[in-house]
Amino acid sequence: MKSIIKFATVLAVAVGSVSCLDLDPQDQISDANVWGNANNVQLFANQFYGGLRDFNGGNYRTTVWDGPHSDRRSDLISGSTINVYSNGTNQIPASDGNYTDLYNRIYRTNLLLANVQAEDSRSMMAQPVGEAYFFRAYFHFELVQLYGDCILVQRPLDVGAGELTSERDDRLKVVKAIIADLKEATKYLPDTPTEEGRVAKPAAWAMLSRVALYEGSWQKFHVGNGENTADSKALFQEAWKAADEVIKAGNYQLFRNDQLGDRDSYRYMFLLEDVACNPAGLQKSANTEYILTNRHNSPLKYVGCNLTHGMLNHGDNMITAKLADMYRCQDGLPIDKSPLFKGRATATSEFDNRDNRMNGTMMMVGQKYWDNDGINSSTKVPYSRTTWNDEDLTHARTCEPNKNGLGYANYKWCTERQVDDTQESMDFPVIRYAEVLLNYAEAKFEENDAITDAELNYSLNEVRARSNPKMTKLSNSLCSANGLSMREEIRAERSVELVMEGFRLDDLKRWKTAEVEMPMDIVGVQVTGTWYEGQGMTLPLNEEGRVRLFTGRQWQQKHYLFPLPTDQRQLNPNLGQNPGWE
C-alpha cells in the first residue's frame, strides 16, 4: 500500500491486562466524528494490514525467517543450527505473542464492524467494512492453523464478556464463520484494488480457497483417516469454487516476460522493485500475479531484514536434498522414473533436463551471480549488476561448493542491485495467482479422489508451463503409465512452486504426512561417487553418501498443533490444552 498510516493516538487500541481476549473497555469508540466519518474509518482499517505475513514481521507474520509458517521449520529448508520446531523439541511456552497479537487484531476488526452498522453507513464505507470482514477471517484462520480449536470472537469484548472465560469453539465451527466472513467481504470489496496492496474481491475469494482447502484436508486426513467426510467434501467444493471465482474474473495471470525467459521470469518475479532490478527493466507494475502483498518501498518501508545476504548462495538458508530431488524432469517424471535424469556424477548434472524452477531457485556450481554489495570490500572489485548485459559478467561472483553445509546454493529472494543490507524493497506475496490455480487442482482432486485432464490443464498445468512450456503436462495417462500417484504429483508441484513462501509445514500438517516427512534426516548433496568427493566437504555422510546436517529429528502427534501458553490457561482455565501437551 502506498501508505499504511498509523491510527492517531486518540483511536489507538490498548491491550488490557485481564486476558488476551480483553482489551481496554474504555476503548469503545462511539464518537460520531470518528465512526461517522469515512476517512477516519478508513484510517482505522489501515492498521489491519500490519498483521499480514512478511519476510520478517515478528510472530506468525515472519515467513522467510524463523516463524510458525516458515519453511525453516519444515523438511525442505534448514538453518545451520537446530530448530526446536523442526526437530520436535519445542516446549509449552509461558506466553505466546502469536496468540495474544491475533486476538488483539480481531478485537480491532470487531470494533469497526460494531460501530459502522447502518447499511447506509456501510455503503459509504464499503472498503473498510470489507477489509474488517476479510481480516477478521484472516486472523481467526491463523489461530486455527496454529492452535486448532479457538474461541470465536465476533464482537468487541468488555470485562464481563462470556468469551473471556469460555471453552474453545470447535475448529470446524470457526472455519465456517471464517468462510462466512470472507463471503461477506466480497459484498463490500471492489472488483480490483483501489490502490496497490489493498484488499479487493479476488483476495477474499483466494483466501477462501486457502482456508477451505486447508480445513477440508484436515477433516479428510485427521478426522476421516484419509476418507472424505461430508464436511471435507463440502469444504473442497468451497475451495475450488472460490478459486474459480478468481480464475474466471481474469484480473490476474501468471507472471512471465519473454525477455526474462522461462527460468528467470519465475526468479525475477520475486525481485521486482520500483528501481532498476532486472534485465528487462520491469518494475512492480509489471507483476500480474500478486493478488495481495505486504508492500515495501524505498525509502519509507524497506524489507527490514538482511534478506539478500541471509538467503543468497550459502547464507543461513540451506536447501535440502529433499527439495532438490522433488523437481521433475522435462518429461514430467520424478528423477527415479525418468530416463532424462543425468545423475549426480558432476556438480551440475542433476540440473540437466529438470524443471526450470530448480535453477530459478537454486544456483549451480560455476554459475555467475551477483548480490547487493556493489563493491567487494577486500578486492574493491564491483560485482553488482549495473548494465544488465554481458559487461556485468566481468563483475560477477562464481558459485562455489559450500564445503561446510548441505552443498546446494539458494537463489530465491536475492536482489542483484547494489543496495544496503535490509533496504531492499521487494513486496512479499501474501497471496499470488499460482497458489489459486494449485488450490483449484488439489481441491478438485481431493473432493472425489479424481481430477480430469481438462481440470489439470485449467489449473496446475498452467503453473508448470510458465517456467516449462515444453515439459510434459501432468495427466491421468502420465500417472497410470508410470505408476505415479496423482495426489503426490499435485503435492510436489505445489511444494516446488511455493517453496520459501510459508506453505510447506502447514501443508504437511493438513495432509497428516508430517509424521513421515519431518523425522527424516536433513541431508544435502551426494558426495560418494561424485565430483564433491574431492572437495573437502566437512559434514558427515549418511549411508547413501550424502552430507548429513541433522539426525534424530522427531514428530509426535501433538506437534500438529501448538500448545496453548501457560499464562492464558491461568487466566482462563476453561481453555484446556491441545492433545499431548497436557
pLDDT per residue of the chain (582 residues) written in tens, 0 to 9: 333 333 333 343 333 333 444 333 334 444 667 898 999 999 999 999 999 999 998 899 999 989 999 999 999 999 999 999 999 999 999 999 999 999 999 999 999 999 998 888 888 899 999 999 999 999 999 999 999 999 999 999 987 788 889 999 999 999 999 999 999 999 999 999 999 899 999 999 999 999 999 999 999 999 999 999 999 999 999 999 999 999 999 999 999 999 999 999 999 999 999 999 999 999 999 999 999 999 999 888 999 999 999 999 877 889 999 999 999 999 999 999 999 999 999 999 999 999 999 999 999 999 999 999 876 556 666 678 888 888 888 888 899 988 999 999 999 999 999 999 999 999 999 999 999 999 999 999 999 999 999 999 999 999 999 999 999 999 999 999 999 999 999 999 999 999 999 999 999 999 999 999 999 999 999 999 999 999 999 999 999 999 999 999 999 999 999 999 999 999 999 999 999 998
Q: Looking at residue 11, what is its pLDDT? A: 44
Domain 9-189 has CATH 1.25.40.390: yes
Domain parsing of the chain, residue ranges = 9-189, 433-477+488-555
CA–CA gap between residue 534 and residue 368 (Å, rounded): 22
Cβ within 8 Å of residue 178, ≥6 positions away: 137, 140, 141, 144, 211
Residue 438: HSE in the Cβ half-sphere, 13 Å Cα cutoff: 24
pTM of the model: 0.94
Q: What torsion, rounded to 10 degrees, do the Cα atoms 96, 55, 430, 452 define? A: -100
DSSP conformational letter for 12: P
Q: What are phi and psi for residue 118, nearest 5 degrees? A: -60, 140
Q: For residue 409, which of 396, 400, 397 has the smallest C-alpha distance?
A: 400
Burial of 496 (0-12, 13-18, 19+ CB in 10 A): buried
The b/e string for 542-559 (b: 16+ C-beta within 10 A; e otherwise) is beebbbbbbeebebeebb
SS3 for 391-456, per residue?
HHHHHCEECCCCCCCCCCEECCCCCCCCCCCCCCCCCEEEEEHHHHHHHHHHHHHHHHCCCCHHHH
Give the model's pLDDT for residue 529: 97
Q: In the structure grid, which three cell numbers stand for residue 184, read together?
A: 461477506
Cα angle at 110 between 104 and 116, to 5 degrees? Answer: 145
Residue 62: beta bridge partners?
54
Peptide bond into 299 cis (omega under 30): yes
Nearest to 530 by CA among 263, 388, 342, 369: 342
Retrieve residue 443's grid coordinates.
481441491
Structure-block grid coordinates of residue 83 = 530448530
Measured CA distances, 438 to 131, 211, 213, 361, 506 (Å): 25, 13, 10, 19, 15
At position 513, the amino acid (one-letter code) is: T
What pLDDT does 378 receive?
61
68, 37, 91, 217: which is closest to 142 by C-alpha? 68
CA 419, 421, 424 angle in degrees (round to 5)? 60
Question: Could you identify the residue written with the cell 474466471?
Answer: 248
CA distances from 150 to 145, 146, 184, 434 (A): 10, 10, 21, 30
pLDDT in tens, 4-37: 333 333 343 333 333 444 333 334 444 667 898 9
pLDDT at 387: 86
Structural contact between residues 296 and 302, judged by C-beta atoms closer than 8 angstroms? yes
The predicted pLDDT at position 395 comes to 82
- pLDDT score, position 256: 97
How far from each other are the two terminal CA atoms of the chain, in whole angstroms?
43
